[in-house]
Amino acid sequence: MRIRFSLSNSLLIVALTWALAVFDLGCNTAYLAQGEKLYTGADVNIIEKEAIPDKSELKNQLELLAKPEPNGKLLGLFRLKLWLYNIGFFKGTLGEPPVLLQSAAPDRIAGRMRTLLESKGYFWPDVQYTVREEESTADIEYTIAVHSPYRINGSTVKRTDTTLVEAIRSTMGGTLLAAGDQYDLEKLKKERERIDTALKEKGYFYFSPDFLVFQADSTAGNKTIDITLQVKKDIPIEAARVYTIGNIYIYSGYSLNRDSVAMPAGDTVRIGGCNYIDLDKKFNPEVIVRSIFFKKGDAYSRNKHDLTLNRLMNLGVFKFVNIRFVNADSAGIPRLEPHIYLTPLSLKNLRFELQGVSQSNNLAGPVLNSSYRNRNLFGGAELFTLSLEAGLEMPIGGGQSGGNSYEIGTRGELELPKFIVPFRLNNVSSLFVPKTHIVLGFNLLNRLLYYQLFSVDASFGYNWKESISKEHNFNPLSITFAHLTNTTQKFNDLLSVNPLLQKSFEEQFIIGQNYSFTYNDQLEKDQKNHLYFKGSIDLSGNLLQLGQSLFIKHPATPNTPYEILGTTYSEYYKFDIDLRYYYNTIDQRASISSRLIAGIGVPYGNSATLPYVKQFYIGGSNSVRAFSVWGLGPGSYRTPDSIAAKSFLEQAGDIKLEANTEYRFPIISIVKGALFVDAGNIWLMQEDPNRPGGKFSSKTFLDEIAVGTGFGLRLDLSFFILRFDLAFPLRVPYLPQGERWVVNKINFGDPSWRKNNLTFNIAIGYPY
């Protein structure tokens, strides 16, 4: 059957939709007992007696109170879970029992709606409801009449001559209760929490938000409320005292099975103002004490409390960190003694993993991964990882004659819980431990019909988190060296007809710097929607070229390059961004996830092109899914089938632009669905005679964007997600101009079309 977007097909779709809805209603209500009615949901209508702000948001909040939720529909058409329950299949697992009108409690829901409205300043609302019954179904309509909300006229602290009240008054510069704001009970609760947090920073360890009460006076008129804050009477004496830090005790190697800690006096070491009691002799005390931010004689601070907990946990060597404060008043001076108990993790482990890997370029084979990890290499919470990987790839199916290949690699990584710098650096007051990374890796790739490539990569750099959502990575030194050997005549013939490709393989000595910044608010509290951003800068050869240019007279060019140790090095600068936005529905069950990727790499000086390993590619299971990985672009170029069948080389470019959006929704239990659209392409910075149409042009690049769409299923086990995506193209950039949109050629009934256009992707995890 050929599918076209026409009036007749549209009418057919409408008819099928109507028929499915009728079938759903008939088959699912047939199982109801006498007098039962299937509850199909509720409508909420707001009548504005006066103009109100954010009507849509208020309606959303009221709709969330309209319980119970009716039986869910697949794609808004068919109650699949209810049907499975009714026919007895998967009744206790995938099935869902009917939601009946009897389970709805409109009186109680109306009362909750009144409470919500009054908590937001909509006093004396009129909430009515109507139960609308049909032969076998029923729903409820809530009609709510409201006037404009009351607003805050001002807020004051009831004056009393106590140190505690004066401390509270000193925090009011940061009050959340600004004059003119809408009255909101939730905001009053947050104001109490804000004051409590501020008092904790001043040493009021035993204070609680529950000791604060608000009085609201609406007699001022004009729909305004005066807010007065006061401290409850008869609060505990300790709650009104400022506590300072006394002696600090650290128990390293503590076990939860210990009832008490009784160690000989000789096992206690005095270091950095702390009493360090070493129970297991595993850690350097200085590393632990460096993460303690309490100081004897200072007022207690919740910030320093949280800072100490987070820094100790982020060392990565402790399973539990517990701080117990002992009230140790001395001579009438309120004091707290922190007792810090550290329970270590297992510090060494060895792991083996065997995988079967299948790539979209028709290569498949086994991969063996093994790694050794030591979390405390030198006794200072240094993380050392040594990994080994060995893999074999063989061509499967047709269309791939790249031959067998194998790859062996080893990599050592050392992570130090501090910055290693040639100058003194004070301990940074951050929730997260700053880290220094040192990496050294070796790799051998042998494509038996073409070449051997031996490579070394090394880097030295820093990682630090500015906050829970902001992270920085900076490598002042990054080196990659690749040596091409044992090339075959077949490979040399490929390079001889493509000078740019030859250059990209030759220039494999990369020495430079790179930096990336990541913002990710998915761990932020009270965030309905989420934003992710990563921006990266990669530079190569800039400092070397600058230094050598002082002594070498001629400028660096691809024909007269500068060298180091007799080898030409790459010169380029590369920028790329990855921006994602996750929009969640009100009930958090469905979401719309979008992504934008843009990148550019510019060779200069020594280099005519980017090194092959630094170029961009597009397509595959995490990109434009309607096209195979490495098989799209650059621009309007397409590798001829006669060449593709004889070559293992993939398409890459200097510029990349990609956009994706995906609607994710639940289907049944752990089965989730997705509808997606992907678009993008790659381009070259300069013309390549062997790839005509590959150069980027501001006038034509939009006409060279590939577009694909499709449907996906996910098995979501929380800790593991298996993804299946079926995609097909809507726009093909390598077709002649005027023929690139292929929507009118979609024909699921044609085996030839399916073979040439449907792309099935299997992957682990979400694409972004």
Which residue did the predictor score with more confidence, 400 or 19? Answer: 19
Nearest Cα to Cα of residue 362 among 581, 630, 170 = 630
User: How high is the pLDDT of residue 649?
Assistant: 63
* Domains within the chain, CATH numbers bracketed: 7-146 (3.10.20.310), 151-240 (3.10.20.310), 244-344 (3.10.20.310)
CA–CA dist 37, 131 (Å, integer): 12
Under 8 Å CB-to-CB from 516, ≥6 apart: which residues?
A: 472, 473, 534, 535, 536, 537
Task: With a cut of 80, say whether residue 708 has pLDDT above it.
Answer: yes
Residues 6+ apart with CB under 8 A from 631: 360, 361, 619, 639, 650, 651
Asked if 164 contacts 131 with a C-beta cutoff of 8 angstroms, the reply is no
User: In terms of DSSP bridges, do strands 335-344 and 249-252 run parallel, antiparallel, or are they unpaired?
Assistant: parallel
CA–CA separation, 196 vs 202, rounded Å? 10
The whole-angstrom separation of Cα 9 and Cα 758 is 22
Average pLDDT in the 540-568 region?
Answer: 85
Query: DSSP string covering 651-668, please?
Result: P-BSEEEEEEEEEEEEEE
- Give the tens place of pLDDT for each residue, 284-333: 999 999 999 999 999 999 999 999 999 999 999 999 999 999 998 877 78
Report pLDDT digits (tens) over 634-647: 999 987 765 655 55
Task: Put residue 710 in one of left, alpha, beta given phi > 0 → left and psi -120 to 50 → alpha.
Answer: left
For the segment 11-33, the average pLDDT, to the nearest whole number, is 62
Question: Is the model more confident about 3 or about 45?
Answer: 45
Counting residues of the chain whose pLDDT is more than 90, the rounded percentage is: 58
pLDDT attached to residue 263 = 45
Q: Calculate mean pLDDT across residues 194-200.
A: 97
pLDDT confidence tier of residue 7, bands split at 50, 70 and 90: very low
User: Looking at residue 171, what is its pLDDT?
Assistant: 94
Q: Residue 723: is its pLDDT beyond 60?
A: yes
pLDDT in tens, 666-677: 888 888 999 999
8-state DSSP, 555: P
Residue % of the chain over a pLDDT of 70 = 89
Q: State yes or no: pLDDT of 477 exceeds 90.
A: yes
pLDDT, position 6:
41
In angstroms, rounded to a whole number, what is the distance separating the alpha carbons of residues 730 and 439? 44
Q: What is the mean pLDDT of the chain?
A: 87
| Higher-pLDDT residue of 57, 90 | 57
Contact yes or no for 564/511 (Cβ under 8 A): yes
Average pLDDT over residues 14-39: 70
Q: Is 716 exposed, middle or buried (0-12, 13-18, 19+ CB in 10 A)?
A: middle
**Before 149, cis peptide (omega within 30)?**
no
451-482: b (≥16 Cβ within 10 Å) or e: bebebebbbebbbbbeeebebebebeebbbbb
Alpha carbon separation from 560 to 539, 542, 552 (Å, rounded): 21, 16, 11
At 128 the pLDDT is: 97
Least confident range of 180-189, 413-422, 482-491, 651-660: 482-491
What is the longest distance spanned by two Cα atoms in the chain? Answer: 98
**How far, in Å, CA of 63 to CA of 105, rounded?**
14
- pLDDT of residue 424 exceeding 80: no
Which pLDDT belongs to residue 338?
96
Per-residue pLDDT at 104 exceeds 80 = yes
Q: Of 106-115, 217-226, 275-284, 363-372, which one has max mean pLDDT?
A: 106-115
Cα dihedral 423/424/430/436 (nearest 10): 40
State the average pLDDT over residues 115-131: 96
Is residue 232 within 8 Å of residue 240, measured between CB atoms? no
**In 3D, which of 651, 637, 660 has the Cα closest to residue 735?**
637
Q: Is the model more confident about 700 or about 20?
A: 700
Lowest-pLDDT choice from 413-417, 426-430, 454-458, 522-526: 426-430
C-alpha 306/C-alpha 291 separation (Å) is: 11
Q: Which pLDDT belongs to residue 148? A: 95
Greater confidence, 420 or 472? 472
Among 203-207, 448-452, 479-483, 618-622, which range has the highest average pLDDT? Answer: 203-207
Count the alpha carbons within 13 Å of 753 in the hemisphere toward its beta carbon: 16
**For 426-456, what is each residue's pLDDT tens digit?**
666 677 889 999 999 999 988 888 888 889 9
| Residue 454 tokens, joined | 């031996």
Confidence of residue 157 (pLDDT cuts 50, 70, 90): very high
The helix/strand/coil state of 271 is strand
Q: Which parts of 515-631 fold into alpha helices (H)?
A: 542-548
- What's residue 265's pLDDT? 44
Rounded to a whole number of angstroms, the distance between the first and last alpha carbons of the chain is: 34
pLDDT at position 95 is 84
Residue 698 clears pLDDT 50, i.e. is over it: yes
How many whole angstroms separate alpha carbon 680 and alpha carbon 624? 7
- DSSP character for 267? G
pLDDT for residue 2 is more than 60: no
pLDDT of 697 higher than 70: yes
Residues 313, 325: Cα–Cα separation, whole Å: 18
Mean pLDDT, to the nearest integer, of 272-290? Answer: 90
- What pLDDT digit, counting tens, does each position of 225-267 carry? 999 999 998 899 999 999 999 999 999 988 877 554 444 444 7
**How far is Cα 353 from Cα 389, in angstroms, rounded to an integer?**
10
More confident residue, 399 or 341: 341
**Non-local CB neighbours of 737 within 8 Å, separated by 6+ positions:** 703
Burial call 439-450: b when 16+ CB within 10 Å, e when fewer:
bebebebbbeeb
Q: How far apart are CA 544 and CA 535, in angstroms?
A: 24
DSSP alpha helices (H): ranges in 507-615? Answer: 542-548
Phi, psi dihedrals of residue 668, rounded to the nearest 5°: -145, 125
pLDDT above 70 for 507: no
Helix (H) or strand (E) holding 154: strand 151-157
Tell whether the model's pLDDT for residue 22 goes beyond 70: no
State the pLDDT at residue 4.
39
pLDDT at 1: 34
**Which of 433-442, 600-609, 707-716 has the lowest average pLDDT?**
600-609
Q: Tell me the average pLDDT across 745-755.
A: 92
Q: 294: how many CB neighbours lie within 10 A of its CB?
A: 22
pLDDT tens track for 135-149: 899 999 999 999 999
Burial class (CB in 10 A: 0-12, 13-18, 19+), 150: buried
Looking at 312-316, 319-323, 336-340, 356-360, which range is the least confident one?
Answer: 356-360
User: What average pLDDT does range 198-223 have in this prediction?
Assistant: 94
Q: Is residue 172 helix, strand or coil? A: helix
560, burial (CB in 10 Å: exposed 0-12, middle 13-18, buried 19+): exposed
Question: Could you tell me the CA-to-CA distances from 438 to 435, 459, 473, 755 in Å, in that order?
Answer: 10, 6, 13, 48
pLDDT value, residue 258: 59
